[in-house]
Amino acid sequence: MKKLTNYINGNLVAPIGGSYLDNIDPSRGKVYSLIPDSDERDVALAAKAAKEAFPFWSNLSTKKRSDYLLAISERIEARMHEMAEAESLDNGKPISLAMEVDIPRARDNFAFYATAILHEQSESHLMGTTGFNYTLRDAIGVAGCISPWNLPLYLFSWKIAPALASGNTVVAKPSEITPYTAYLLSEICVEINLPPGVLNIVHGLGPKVGQAISEHPDIPVISFTGGTATGKQISATAAPLFKKLSLELGGKNPNIIFADCDFDEMLKTTLRSSFANQGQICLCGSRIFIERSIYEKFKNAFVEKVSQMKVGIPSDPKTKMGALVSESHLNKVLSYVKLAQEEGGRVLTGGNRVILEEAEFKDGYYMRPTIIEGLDAYCRTNQEEIFGPVVSLQAFDTEEEVLAYANSTRYGLAATLWTSNLQRAHRMAHKLESGIVWVNCWLLRDLRTPFGGMKQSGMGREGGFEALRFFTEPKNVCIRL
Ligand code: TXE
């Protein structure tokens, strides 16, 4: 069975402790490879290599750093199909999604930051004839990047690329549930001769490897995406060490539908925003609020479409809904369906595990996309992040009422708004407590825009120049004239 390796100081190496974890293919429910069960000794080696590489990398010309990142981007493009297959196998997502979204986006993340640094400008502040100030932005040192399983290479590269582009060296940890494409990325780094120590990838469990990164004294900056509870744990570790932190956490996003929207466009997009990647995207809209006059029309059309969605083998190009990422996650999602029923919800479609007919895939973690109605906006099902193919429907009468529902959770990541009334769109966008508001669209992403959440959805922003700012230390220089 294939054993993945860590990537430390330019070499593909076994973990020091010699032990491995099972890596499961969720479409079959079977172990298909082994990943290093690394510990603080591997992290220490990686941090040492990264620290030693920092002076060289941070002093390299912007153009040379850019060339290395572009070379990574080009190799991802060249290995696109292989990487999409690997992502689909590792995560359970349809291969079509990995080909259209995950791997192209990872490629673009490297290209985006490789070229962004060529266009950076620094600020200056004139003080009449008295003096002037200019701002230097220097790389900080070794950056720790910790990422989750839902968009494995996409989110991993969304952190690594700006950290490296701005001159930091990196110790990175992908999710132990979906490590494979991070391993392929380390192969690519070897192929392009990335200088040793610039990027180090350590595989293993969160409480061991992630914790060791969070507490390592030579890693002063940490970028994390994952669950809110883990974010809290990392903050508790990093705060007394005065580390710079960026946290991208969970969401419980509202999808608000007014009667005056373009119904067909809204319906088509709402299918995606509810169930793309089996609902395992932090930006999915899991609470759907519908203006009362079109509630029944929407409900009937939505239930009809969702009940026809094919749940199938991820490697089949026609599959739209693949497997959930793990058995424990499937059980967690199913337990929320049960909770919803206990809370008075009615399951309109789905709600159950699916056993595929193909014998090879009968143990995979499949579930039917699920729609629930009849729940109160403030019940647990509507307040806690489920992170699976489950949405709830609720009617509303006024803007004020739906705003109160939308803003009622502890999260504030993304909101979607469907209306053809421009004034209302601006009014609502202003009042929604959400880091991202999509009007008449969903997941329309421009990599230059700030990305992140309010409240317990996170701290700080990624994306565009926000990420380059995060990974640098501003220094004001004041000159008397
Ligand atoms: O997250 P975890 P998981 C949410 C979603 C999901 C939940 C759990 O609600 O159900 O998070 O997902 C590492 N110190 N999102 O299990 O456990 C871990 O190894 C340092 C939202 O993936 O937070 C992995 O690499 N690191 C999200 C990473 O943290 C630790 C996307 C994320 O794992 C650690 C995915 C520790 N003590 C899940 N413990 C979004 N907003 O995009 C774990 N890790």
Compute, in angstroms, the gap from residue 319 CA to the centroid of ligand 1. 26
Q: Could you tell me if 465 and 116 are in contact, meaning their C-beta atoms sit under 8 angstroms apart?
A: yes
State the maximum Cα–Cα separation within the chain, in Å, rounded to a whole number: 80
Q: How many Å separate Cα 330 from the centre of its chain?
A: 19
pLDDT (tens, 9 = 90+) of the chain, 481 residues, equals 999 999 999 999 999 999 999 999 999 999 999 999 999 999 999 999 999 999 999 999 999 999 999 999 999 999 999 999 999 999 999 999 999 999 999 999 999 999 999 998 899 999 999 999 999 999 999 999 999 999 999 999 999 999 999 999 999 999 999 999 999 999 999 999 999 999 999 999 999 999 999 999 999 999 999 999 999 999 999 999 999 999 999 999 999 999 999 999 999 999 999 999 999 999 999 999 999 999 999 999 999 999 999 999 999 988 989 999 999 999 999 999 999 999 999 999 999 999 999 999 999 999 999 999 999 999 999 999 999 999 999 999 999 999 999 999 999 999 999 999 999 999 999 999 999 999 999 999 999 999 999 999 999 999 999 999 999 999 999 999 9
Atom in ligand 1 nearest the alpha carbon of residue 227: 11
pLDDT of residue 320: 87
Q: How many Å separate Cα 83 from the centre of its chain?
A: 18
Atom in ligand 1 nearest the alpha carbon of residue 413: 41
Q: Could you tell me if 264 and 232 are in contact, meaning their C-beta atoms sit under 8 angstroms apart?
A: no
Compute, in angstroms, the gap from residue 260 CA to the centroid of ligand 1. 38
Q: CB neighbours of 324 closer than 8 A, spacing ≥ 6?
A: 26, 92, 278, 280, 330, 333, 365, 366, 367, 388, 389
* Burial class, 171, CB count within 10 angstroms (exposed 0-12 / middle 13-18 / buried 19+): buried
DSSP tag of 378: T
Q: What is each CA distance from 328 to 46, 207, 311, 332, 456, in whole angstroms? A: 31, 18, 19, 6, 24
pLDDT of residue 209: 98
Identity of the amino acid at 112: F
Helices (H), ranges, 209-262: 211-215, 228-238
Helix (H, G, I), strand (E, B) or coil at 393: strand
Compute, in angstroms, the gap from residue 226 CA to the centroid of ligand 1. 3
E strand or H helix that includes residue 51: helix 40-59
* Among protein residues, the one whose CA lies closest to atom 7 of ligand 1: 227
Q: How far is Cα 140 from Cα 132, in angstroms, rounded to an integer? A: 25
Atom in ligand 1 nearest the alpha carbon of residue 332: 10
Ligand 1 binding site (Cβ under 6 Å of any ligand atom): 146-150, 173, 175-176, 206-207, 210-211, 214, 225-227, 230, 233-234, 248-250, 282, 385, 387
